[in-house]
C-alpha cells in the first residue's frame, strides 16, 4: 500500500482523536504503515502535531471563507448574519469531529506559529460576532472575544459528548447552534 502524506495525516488525526496519547508506533499502525514510513514524512511526533495544527487552522480559515464572514458582517443584515452563524457553527461542529484533537492538544495550542495564525482567524471570527451584536442577533453586553471563547468551548463539549455517546451525531449541530444563539442571543 502506498502511503501519502495526506493519508498518513488523516489516519493520525483519527487515531489521536480516539487516543490523544498515542505514540508514533500506534499512529503508524493505525495508518497501516510502519514507523519508518511515518518517520519519512514526519521526523518527530512534534512535526506531526504541527502539521495537524496547520491542517486544522486551514480548515478553520476555509470555513470562514466559505461562509463569507466579513462580507456577511459588513452587510449588517440580521437575517444574513443569523444564517451565517448557523451555517458556520454547523460547519465547525462537523469539523470538530475530524479536528477535535487539535482543539485541545497542549503542544498545538501553545506553538507560537500556530497561535499567531489562530489569532488572525479569531479576529476574522470576532468581526462576525461584533456585527451580530450590532444587528441585534447577539447580546451586546458580552465581549465579542468571550463569544469566541464560548464557541470554542461548545466545540470541545460537542466533541466530547459525541465521543462519550451522550448525543446523537445528527443532533449535535442543532444543539450547539441553539446553545450559542439562546445563551448569547439578544434578549
The whole-angstrom separation of Cα 34 and Cα 29 is 7
> Range(s) for CATH 1.10.357.10 in the chain?
50-183
* pLDDT for 1: 67
Tell me the per-residue pLDDT of 111-155, one tens digit each, with 9 for 90 and over.
Answer: 999 999 999 999 999 999 999 999 999 999 999 999 999 999 999
Other Cβ atoms within 10 Å of 155 Cβ, number? 21
Domain 1-43, CATH: 1.10.10
End-to-end CA distance of the chain: 57
Q: Residue 118: which residues within 8 A CB-CB, separation 6 or more?
A: 57, 60
* pLDDT for 140: 96
pTM over 0.75: yes
- Mean pLDDT for 4-22 is 90
- Mean pLDDT for 57-65 is 96
Do residues 39 and 123 lie in contact, with contact meaning Cβ atoms separated by under 8 Å?
no
Average per-residue pLDDT for the chain:
93
Do residues 81 and 137 lie in contact, with contact meaning Cβ atoms separated by under 8 Å?
yes
The whole-angstrom separation of Cα 177 and Cα 186 is 14
* pLDDT for 105: 86
Q: Mention the CATH class of domain 50-183.
A: mainly alpha
> Range(s) for CATH 1.10.10 in the chain?
1-43
Alpha carbon distances (Å) from 24 to 9, 17, 20, 48: 12, 14, 11, 9
* pLDDT for 107: 85
- Mean pLDDT for 44-73 is 95
Amino acid at each position: 500500500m502506498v502511503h501519502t502524506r495526506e493519508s498518513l495525516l488523516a489516519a493520525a488525526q483519527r487515531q489521536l482523536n480516539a487516543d490523544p496519547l498515542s505514540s508514533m508506533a500506534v499512529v503508524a499502525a493505525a495508518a497501516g504503515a510502519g514507523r519508518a514510513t511515518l518517520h519519512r514524512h514526519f521526523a518527530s511526533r512534534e512535526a506531526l502535531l504541527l502539521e495537524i495544527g496547520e491542517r486544522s487552522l486551514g480548515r478553520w480559515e476555509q470555513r470562514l471563507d466559505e461562509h463569507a464572514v466579513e462580507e456577511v458582517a459588513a452587510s449588517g443584515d440580521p437575517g444574513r448574519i443569523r444564517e451565517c452563524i448557523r451555517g458556520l457553527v454547523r460547519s465547525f461542529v462537523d469539523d470538530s469531529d475530524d479536528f477535535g484533537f487539535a482543539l485541545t492538544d497542549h503542544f498545538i495550542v501553545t506553538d507560537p506559529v500556530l497561535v499567531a495564525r489562530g489569532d488572525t482567524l479569531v479576529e476574522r471570527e470576532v468581526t462576525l460576532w461584533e456585527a451580530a451584536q450590532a444587528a441585534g442577533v447577539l447580546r451586546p453586553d458580552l465581549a465579542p472575544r468571550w463569544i469566541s471563547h464560548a464557541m470554542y468551548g461548545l466545540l470541545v463539549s460537542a466533541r466530547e459528548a459525541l465521543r462519550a455517546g451522550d448525543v446523537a451525531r445528527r443532533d449535535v449541530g442543532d444543539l450547539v447552534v441553539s446553545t450559542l444563539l439562546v445563551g448569547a442571543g439578544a434578549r
